[in-house]
Amino acid sequence: MDGERLLSSLSDSSDETEFYTPLPAGYERGQCKYVVVFGTVMSGLGKGIFSSSLAKVLKDKGVTVAPIKLEGYLNRDSGTLNPFRHGEVFVLDDGMECDMDLGTYERMLNQDVTRLNFCTSGQIFSRVLDKERRGGYLGRDVQMIPHVTGEVKSRLRELAVTTRADMIFVEIGGTVGDVENAYFIEAIRELAFEEGPGSVCNVALTYIVEPAMLGEQKSKPAQLNLKALMAAGIHPHVIACRARHPATKKVREKLAMYSNVPMERVFSMHDCESVYLIPEMLRGAGIDTAVLDLLGVGDKADENREESHRAVWNDYIARFRATKNPVTIGVTGKYTSLRDSYASIIQAIEHAGVHYGAKVRLEWFDSSILTEENVADRLKHIHGVIVPGGFGVRGVDGKLACIRYVRENKIPYLGLCYGLQMAVIEYARNVCGMEDAGSTEIDTDSPYPVIDILPEQKKIEGLGGNMRLGGHEVVLTPRSVVSELYGGAKTIRLRFRHRYEVDPAYIERLEAGGLIFSGRSPSHPIMQVLELPRATHPFFVGTQAHPELTSRPLDPEPMFAGFVHAALAHSGVRDAQPTSSLPRGIHHAENHFNETAAAE
């Protein structure tokens, strides 16, 4: 049976055929190409970084790209995952709670993604079972092959049709050999068979061990895992070698010989000072050109377009390397032992630091060990403090002690989600005379529950069901600090992930005490941004949102940029100037911070 006849039979499902691949309307074989990244040896090596970097380089050339992450766990989304186990939960504008790698794609590609770009085993199996209940398999016994793998291929093709992408970048979570992702790997093997030669490029991301007692790199674990990948029917076209130091020629030769991959396509993806250096490393190694040739789409490359985008990106890298003004930012949270729990905050701080030429050093504080007695000593050298998002009771007292200290000592403060709620509680207790004010999440018997679930939220049942998720509009108070940060904007759009709010019953009393709610929901009594007056504090801003989720290297998030600028002023750098123009208008607020610093 030739390719065209095969494809025409794929969507049929009966006792007469073993093929099952539902094809979305408008899908044409060979119209879209696929780059698939597999992990070997161990997880956490940076499949998302490699995939997004390669996608970025090809996008620079004019190729339309769309990423998708395939995750093996049975959860429908990442909303209930513990940050200690899986890193931060990244929230998309459409409300999907997903893997942190989707944040890497958004930042690297400078484009928003949607729930179509994230797929878990839970989603796949739900689709299969729902279809089975509706009689969608025409009486067939439903099996992993072809029905479950067919749904995986369908998700990839649906993304291709919806985005009209020239190239889909598929990242498969976990490593080769994991039970939970075996059917994803099988689906890719089938996809390559159905789409035909030159339609799928397989990339194996592996790890080169370098035992300290040996003093040399060893490739045996990588060889064995490549063998497992090839045994699954996946023959890599490109091998990316993660390593502490550049992969040696000897190691690369061994992997090339073992896998039949040419040496020029065995790429050293060694540790470097910033993930944003990886795109240029790929260009230098010629991996982008090799992929275009393998997929037969070299004619889509626009050299002039690439050079202009490359120049802008390299300008960011040059400014990153030129940062010189040291500033120390303290992050007070619950999950500080795992940096991936705050991946987007780390990136947003880097973007803002580069914008102001600041060499930011992050210092992590476990909020459970901070107290009223030791907070002054612990924070005495800090130039700014962030209290990030979180849930639950643990570490609350430490956060409150930290916020009180920075407020009273005029140290720049940025509170994110839970950080806004803690700031409200601290202010209510220590300024507004509401002793033992609290949150019903922490204490249901608090005499002043300034933080509570709003009545309309309480009506929504189910764990996670009453979360306020995704992008929402925020109406800003004119001439407020936050309005100036966004260039005088009247409304902005931020992403949220929270269940508790400032109780409207206490707004008037809090404002009478001097707290300013400068950002509000346009349709609900939800306080979304707070600040202290310029005259009383150089920079004290809290938001119920997660602005770190929308920060980009070439477009730093305004709240973070304003915060870093204020921290620089607190460190003694009173005239820090931006190193680039800011699309979102952060420069409109710079005069305020310089004037405040000079006045002090």
What residue ranges define each of the domains in the chain, with the CATH number in brackets? 24-316 (3.40.50.300), 323-599 (3.40.50.880)
Residue 109 in this model has a pLDDT that exceeds 60: yes
Given this model, what pLDDT does residue 392 score?
66
Q: Which band of pLDDT confidence, cut at 50, 70 and 90, is reported for residue 430?
A: very high
Q: What is the pTM of this model?
A: 0.90
Neighbours of 164 (CB within 10 A): 11
Given this model, what pLDDT does residue 15 score?
56
d(CA 230, CA 493): 46
Closest C-alpha among 179, 546, 186 to residue 347? 546
Between CA 306 and CA 462, with CA 158 as vertex, the angle to 5 degrees is 115
- Locate the DSSP E strands across 299-428: 325-333, 358-366, 384-387, 413-416
Which residues are catalytically annotated? 417, 546, 548
Neighbours of 515 (CB within 10 A): 24
pLDDT (tens digit, 9 = 90+) per residue, 393-422?
Answer: 777 899 999 999 999 999 999 999 999 999
Q: Which band of pLDDT confidence, cut at 50, 70 and 90, is reported for residue 380?
A: very high
Given this model, what pLDDT does residue 139 score?
77
Q: Average of pLDDT values for 214-231?
A: 94
Closest C-alpha among 374, 369, 417, 403 to residue 559? 417
Q: Average of pLDDT values for 428-450?
A: 93
Give the pair of three-digit tokens for residue 70.
């395939």
d(CA 450, CA 436): 10
Burial label, 205 (beta-carbon count in 10 A; 0-12, 13-18, 19+):
buried
Task: Judge contact between 513 and 536, C-beta under 8 A.
Answer: no
Given this model, what pLDDT does residue 43 score?
86
Neighbours of 10 (CB within 10 A): 19
> Mean of the per-residue pLDDT values for the chain?
89
Task: Judge contact between 327 and 539, C-beta under 8 A.
Answer: no
Given this model, what pLDDT does residue 5 score?
44
Residue 390 in this model has a pLDDT that exceeds 90: no
d(CA 43, CA 225): 12
**Contacts of residue 454, Cβ cutoff 8 Å, sequence gap at least 6:** 501, 503, 504, 524, 525, 526
Give the pair of three-digit tokens for residue 33.
């190409």
The percentage of the chain sitting over the pLDDT mark of 70, rounded to a whole number, equals: 90
Give the pair of three-digit tokens for residue 371.
């107290």
**Contacts of residue 434, Cβ cutoff 8 Å, sequence gap at least 6:** 428, 447, 448, 450, 506, 509
| Partner residues linked to 119 by β-bridges | 70
Q: Average of pLDDT values for 89-98?
A: 95
Residue 516 in this model has a pLDDT that exceeds 60: yes
410 alpha-carbon distance from chain centroid: 31
Given this model, what pLDDT does residue 80 score?
81
Q: Which amino acid is at 207?
A: Y
Given this model, what pLDDT does residue 553 score?
96
The percentage of the chain sitting over the pLDDT mark of 90, rounded to a whole number, equals: 76
Task: Judge contact between 120 and 73, C-beta under 8 A.
Answer: yes
Task: Judge contact between 194 and 37, C-beta under 8 A.
Answer: no
Given this model, what pLDDT does residue 86 score?
72
Q: Average of pLDDT values for 325-354?
A: 88
Higher-pLDDT residue of 495 and 3 is: 495
